[in-house]
Structure 1
Amino acid sequence: MNEKRIAKTPFALAFSVGAVLFSAHAGGGFATGNQANTYYVGLGWAGPVSAVIAMLLLTLTMRQAMVMYNSRGLTSYKQLFQALYHPFDKIEWLFEVFFYIMVLMAVAAAISGAASALKGYFGVNYYLAIVLVGIVVLTLTIFGAGIVRAASAYMGIAILVTAITIYTVGIFKSDSSITAIFSADFAEKGFAGMPKAILNAFTYAGFQCVTLPTMIACGTPLENRRGCGKAMWISFVMNAVALVLSIFMLQTWQGVYTSVEGGTTIPTLTSCNAMGIGWLTTVYGVCLLLCLISTGVTTIFGFVARFEKLPMFRGISSAPVRSAIVSAFIIVVSMTISLAGLTNIIKYGYGYCGYLGIAVVVIPFLTVGVWKNRAYIRQHGETFAARPESDEAVAAVVPRPAAQCD
């Protein structure tokens, strides 16, 4: 095949697709600093290395998923995993299990994070704050989901800008030098922490794969393998830079936020308070609270849209009543999980889901997926075939996961 005939993917298109994964990763959960503190800060100099490996694993996995999805003209993530696991098609249910548990964890983390923010800013009792946030999320899910979903992108951008500002200012404002920290850590530990760093990289990439249904839906305009690769390399740079910046900042302020009771729950907020920049702390807190509530609402709304059509709800003619029942059930389960606290949810809930994600998403796509994609493209060519259904139909069958949970 003449390589020159392969259509080039416009940079704007590749960037827009890559930015979806960036916004999905760098949202409320990322901006709290809890994930970076849990998986990377304690690794010392190996933390940033682990983060870069995680983002490489994640973007390479998404690339193979989009290539498989687009080259075959698939229209749902169920079809995608059947194609990946064929002839063992029923294994795709493992992704279903991973996806729904992970999204429940994301909602629980959003409620817990918002409750922790209320406690940190206003001194509200944590358990009371969980109830208050749960009521707000339920109300918005039933009556205001459309408004929240429309505003979620802007809230995500706002929290991202303020978080990056805090990271940049924090690195230079800290009394600790990141170079000195890394030098001392390497002199003490050497390469002893690398096995843990590699495991954390795979785990982090594993639970971030909850965004896969969104990514394959948003990546449908990419017409060939090179386009998918271009979009994901752009996303890799964006995600790796933001995550490494957050690790640098938290490592230089680790002695501060670990010395404060509850300071590790939202370490970015604790560090920002210590910097003494009042206006930045206020803007960050408001954006973080709104973003976390938005994550909970949009995620639950995706659940409701999928489950309210189950046979058990056919006897309920009122759509708002069906939505309220499903929403209330999900929120009660998520509130119960949130009692464990944000740190435990991210450490254990996300962690165990990450192990499952490694087994059912990351490793299969980076091994069997690569082989199947190469074989398929050799037979059918580099340019992907047109789908039998419209992109609107694809969007309708692929549920929207937590776009800002990770």
Structure 2
Amino acid sequence: MILVCLIALLIPGLSLGQAGISEVAATKHVEGSLGTAIWNGLLYAGFQSLVVASIISTSQLLDTTKKCMGFAIIGTVINGLMTALCAIMILGNMNALTQLEDGMSLPIFNIAKFINAPILLYAYSVILFCAFVSTGVGVVFGLVTRFEKVGFKSLNIEQRRIIISLISIVIATLLSFAGLTKLIAVGYGWIGRVCVFLLVIPLAVVAPIKNAKFKKEHPEVE
């Protein structure tokens, strides 16, 4: 559903920004630098890695290297392609977005408003709703799986799961009162910065070493 609605939004959005895209292609000039682009990419990776870290405990079915590689490739291709198309759409509509006071806080939403088609605003709402629900369910389930055997030892497993789920939902609900714009404009950046150094860089350096060591010590594992 997310992909269907996003594609439905991307097609007119890219068409609307065609002039801007052509201008960038012709002049080969955009604001910012390569370093800024790389850093923003790392911020995005950092933000996403926090979600992955939360739901990784639910990946019991990925029990072979082949399955892990397949999952990683499919996820990277789909996520990378959609992210690239969204970035191109935003780039094409950059001039219009910068005319708005908060145009870059929710750029895709603003582009949907530029197109002036109510159905695309509904599509945007569906994208957000499905993204929130799927991410929320995955994160809560992942946190329950990770911490159900750590705390509240005096309670049975069902009670521990309920408590962990409630704590997660309450924290998420309290954060939601800050508003979507503030969460994205402020929270996204800071979470990304922290996770670049807490997760992305350590994983990029340490994970290959540990994986190679594990494979050497356990050649029987596929």
TM-score between the two structures when normalised by the length of structure 1:
0.44
**Residue 217 of structure 2 aligns with which residue?**
379
Give the residue type in structure 2 aligned to 1:252. Answer: G
1:91-126 deviation per Cα after TM superposition (whole angstroms, max 9, x unaligned):
xxxxxxxxxxxxxxxxxxxxxxxxxxxxxxxxxxxx
For structure 1, the 5+ residue unaligned runs are 1-157, 385-406
**Residue 187 of structure 2 aligns with which residue?**
349
Give the residue type in structure 2 aligned to 1:220. Answer: L
Match runs of 1:218-237 below 5 Å: 218=59, 220-224=61-65, 226-237=66-77
Q: 1 CA distance for matches of 2:139 and 2:172?
A: 8
User: What's the CA shift for 1:243?
Assistant: 0.4
**Residue 290 of structure 1 aligns with which residue?**
129
**Residue 24 of structure 2 aligns with which residue?**
181
For structure 2, the 5+ residue unaligned runs are none
User: What's the CA shift for 1:169?
Assistant: 2.4
User: What's the CA shift for 1:331?
Assistant: 5.0
* Aligned residue-pair number: 214
**Residue 119 of structure 2 aligns with which residue?**
279
**Residue 97 of structure 1 aligns with which residue?**
none
**Residue 206 of structure 1 aligns with which residue?**
46
**Are residue 172 (structure 1) and residue 15 (structure 2) matched?**
yes
Give the residue type in structure 1 aligned to 2:198. Answer: V
User: What's the CA shift for 1:229?
Assistant: 2.5
Q: 2 CA distance for matches of 1:324 and 1:206?
A: 24
Give the residue type in structure 2 aligned to 1:381. Answer: P
Q: Give the SS at the match of 1:176.
A: helix
Q: Structure 1 residues 179 and 301 mapped into 2: Cα distance closer, same or farther (>3 Å)? A: same
**Residue 91 of structure 2 aligns with which residue?**
251
Q: Structure 1 residues 330 and 214 mapped into 2: Cα distance closer, same or farther (>3 Å)? A: closer
Give the residue type in structure 1 aligned to 2:2. Answer: I
**Residue 5 of structure 2 aligns with which residue?**
162
Give the residue type in structure 2 aligned to 1:212. Answer: A
Q: 2 CA distance for matches of 1:328 and 1:358?
A: 25
Q: Structure 1 residues 220 and 378 mapped into 2: Cα distance closer, same or farther (>3 Å)? A: same
Q: Structure 1 residues 364 and 285 mapped into 2: Cα distance closer, same or farther (>3 Å)? A: closer
Q: Structure 1 residues 365 and 291 mapped into 2: Cα distance closer, same or farther (>3 Å)? A: same
Match runs of 1:59-74 below 5 Å: none
User: What's the CA shift for 1:213?
Assistant: 4.0
Q: Give the SS at the match of 2:19.
A: coil
**Residue 197 of structure 1 aligns with which residue?**
37
User: What's the CA shift for 1:241?
Assistant: 0.8
Give the residue type in structure 2 aligned to 1:184. Answer: T
**Residue 171 of structure 2 aligns with which residue?**
330
Q: 1 CA distance for matches of 2:169 and 2:205?
A: 40
Give the residue type in structure 2 aligned to 1:245. Answer: L
Q: Select which of 58, 78, 83 maps to 1:217.
A: 58
**Range moving further from structure 2, 268-277 or 245-254:** 268-277
Q: Structure 1 residues 176 and 239 mapped into 2: Cα distance closer, same or farther (>3 Å)? A: same
Q: Structure 1 residues 219 and 253 mapped into 2: Cα distance closer, same or farther (>3 Å)? A: farther
Q: Structure 1 residues 330 and 272 mapped into 2: Cα distance closer, same or farther (>3 Å)? A: same
Q: Select which of 360, 363, 381 maps to 2:198.
A: 360
Give the residue type in structure 2 aligned to 1:253. Answer: N
Query: Does 1 or 2 have the higher relative contact order (CA < 8 Å, sep 6+)?
Result: 1
Contact 1:304 1:326 in 2 (8 A): no
User: What's the CA shift for 1:285?
Assistant: 4.3
Q: 1 CA distance for matches of 2:86 and 2:112?
A: 12
Give the residue type in structure 1 aligned to 2:204. Answer: L
1:195-237 deviation per Cα after TM superposition (whole angstroms, max 9, x unaligned):
222222222111211213424533633423x442333123222
Q: 2 CA distance for matches of 1:379 and 1:257?
A: 54
Give the residue type in structure 2 aligned to 1:291. Answer: C
Q: Structure 1 residues 373 and 162 mapped into 2: Cα distance closer, same or farther (>3 Å)? A: same
